[in-house]
Amino acid sequence: MKKHSIVIAGGGSTFTPGIIMMLLDNLDKFPIKEIKFYDNDEERQNTVADACRVIIKEKAPEIKFLATVDPEEAFSNIDFVMAHIRVGKYAMREKDEKIPLEHGVVGQETCGPGGIAYGMRSIGGVLELIEHMETFSPNAWMLNYSNPAAIVAEATRRLKPNAKVLNICDMPISIENLMASILELNSRKEMIVKYYGLNHFGWWTDIRDREGNDLMPKLKNHVKDKGYAIEFSESGQHVDDSWKSTFTKVKDVYALDPETMPNTYLKYYFYPQDEVEKANAEYTRANEVMDGREKHVFGECNRIAQANTSEGSTLEIDEHASYIVDLARAIAYNTQERMLLIVENNGAIENFDPTAMVEVPCIVGSQGPEPLTQGQIPRFQKSLMEQQVGVEKLVVEAWEEGSYQKLWQALTLSKTVPNARVAKELLDDLIEANQEYWPTLK
């Protein structure tokens, strides 16, 4: 098997050590020659890189390792870019969440005004990574999970239509892991699913085992009362209380259409007021993540680098991120794996905008993804998706044209925003907070 060279863009991410440990755990399936880290924050990246260097040396000393802030060094001679950047880091995520709450609107990193603000920051950052890849390794593929994936994917479709970039999200994978637990299966890979939607905005319509048996009745029986909540102590991975509450809230989302299984993020569109009431405007998910995951990961990285050993480390392999290996293998070895990806619709959802970026099952091989047709979708989901895809497209147009008007329209159209006046007040506050990152809007 060919050994691959990869660059992780956003080397300083809190997810990087877990992904490195996951890659090292899968070397038999996806051999690696070289790993490079690239970030535009050298200090943050070095903290993670100094620990990962130790881990790689212990587990696979034959792998070359380099951390750099120089695009040419990072993007030369690579086969894959694994991209997870957060433009503006947690300081800006905190503003994305808190500014909407000041206006009585959902404060969430990828949904509603927070997602729109984050999108306006991410588009430029992700397009720049694509340009580096195309300049220094034109045959490489980018596996992109930088958020907000829906807006980023639309930007890549519109502004880099020929780029070899695959946009993917781990939420369906996480949910399928929970479904597998509920169904008492050994792995989510025992399920064959049908699914359609937008990123963080979709529904499973059919779930079967490999023999073709319908697993939906058993799932429905659990989800109607408990959502996707399970006994998390048995799941092996730590799950924060706010995520447990999200998994439980699924039962209310499910009630809207008991024939399908929903993505967790739909709660922000169906029950925005519940989310606003529950939120603490002084302490949002960004604060939780900074005090939790970020402190833990950076604390452990410092300890490993100083001790020059990972012995006793509490960093966890990011098991559910193994979809990244599946995706890279599908491209590298033409495995024809069936995976949910965010791709241009082109008729996969028959009665929906062919130019929308939708999340559907695809067969992935060395030529990229082939979307599987999901047929016609019902009026309820179609109407919701049309509104949301309108928001996403308007954001990308606003970014490209520097249009205040289109961004105001996008915010007004979002189901999470009550009216155009609130949308305008929000927009003005978001412009003020994002001066360093957004294009100038006229």
Ligand X SMILES: NC(=O)c1ccc[n+]([C@@H]2O[C@H](COP(=O)([O-])OP(=O)(O)OC[C@H]3O[C@@H](n4cnc5c(N)ncnc54)[C@H](O)[C@@H]3O)[C@@H](O)[C@H]2O)c1
DSSP label at residue 196: E
* Largest Cα–Cα separation, the chain: 59
Place of tokens 């903290």: 47
With contacts defined by CB under 6 A, name the span among 32-40, 165-173, 269-277, 418-426 that binds ligand LEZUNG72: 165-173
From ligand X, ligand LEZUNG72, Mn ion, none, interface partner of 41 (C-beta below 5 to 8 A by class): ligand X
Of 42, 41, 67, residue with least CA distance to 53: 67
Under the criterion CB under 6 A, does residue 290 sit at the interface with ligand LEZUNG72? Answer: no
Q: Of these residues, 195, 196, 254, 265, which one is catalytic? A: 265
Q: 171, 265 in Cβ contact below 8 A?
A: yes
Under the criterion CB under 6 A, does residue 300 sit at the interface with ligand X? Answer: no
Under the criterion CB under 6 A, does residue 327 sit at the interface with ligand LEZUNG72? Answer: no
Under the criterion CB under 6 A, does residue 226 sit at the interface with ligand X? Answer: no
Measured from the CB atom, the residue of 165 and 423 that comes closer to ligand X is 165
Per-residue x/- marks for Mn ion, 167-206, CB under 5 A? --x-x-----------------------------------
Give the C-alpha separation, 123 to 143, whole Å: 15
Q: How far is the CB of 350 from ligand X (least distance, A)?
A: 26
Q: How far is CA 156 from the centre of its chain?
A: 15
Q: How far is the CB of 320 from ligand LEZUNG72 (least distance, A)?
A: 6
From ligand X, Mn ion, ligand LEZUNG72, none, interface partner of 30 (C-beta below 5 to 8 A by class): none
Q: How far is the CB of 290 from ligand X (least distance, A)?
A: 9
Under the criterion CB under 6 A, does residue 86 sit at the interface with ligand X? Answer: yes
With contacts defined by CB under 6 A, name the span among 55-63, 141-149, 279-287, 433-441 that binds ligand X: 141-149
| Cα-only R_g, the chain | 21
Under the criterion CB under 6 A, does residue 14 sit at the interface with ligand X? Answer: yes
Query: Phi and psi of 341, rounded to 5°?
Result: -130, 165
Whether 170 is a known active-site residue: answer yes
Q: Report in angstroms the alpha-carbon separations of 295 from 201, 287, 315, 428.
A: 30, 11, 12, 33
Per-residue x/- marks for ligand LEZUNG72, 82-111, CB under 6 A? ----------------------------x-
User: SS3 of 104, please?
Assistant: coil
Give the C-alpha separation, 108 to 125, whole Å: 20
Of 100, 129, 132, 131, residue with least CA distance to 114: 100
Q: Name every residue whose Cβ is closer than 8 Å to that of residue 266 and which is 6 or more positions away in sequence.
A: 201, 253
Q: 17, 51 in Cβ contact below 8 A?
A: yes
Whether 39 is a known active-site residue: answer no
Catalytic positions, please? 170, 265
- Which residues in this chain contact ligand LEZUNG72 in the complex, by CB under 6 A? 110, 147, 169-171, 174, 243, 285, 289, 320
- Which residues in this chain contact ligand X in the complex, by CB under 6 A? 9-10, 12-15, 39-41, 44-45, 84-87, 89-90, 125, 145-147, 149, 169-171
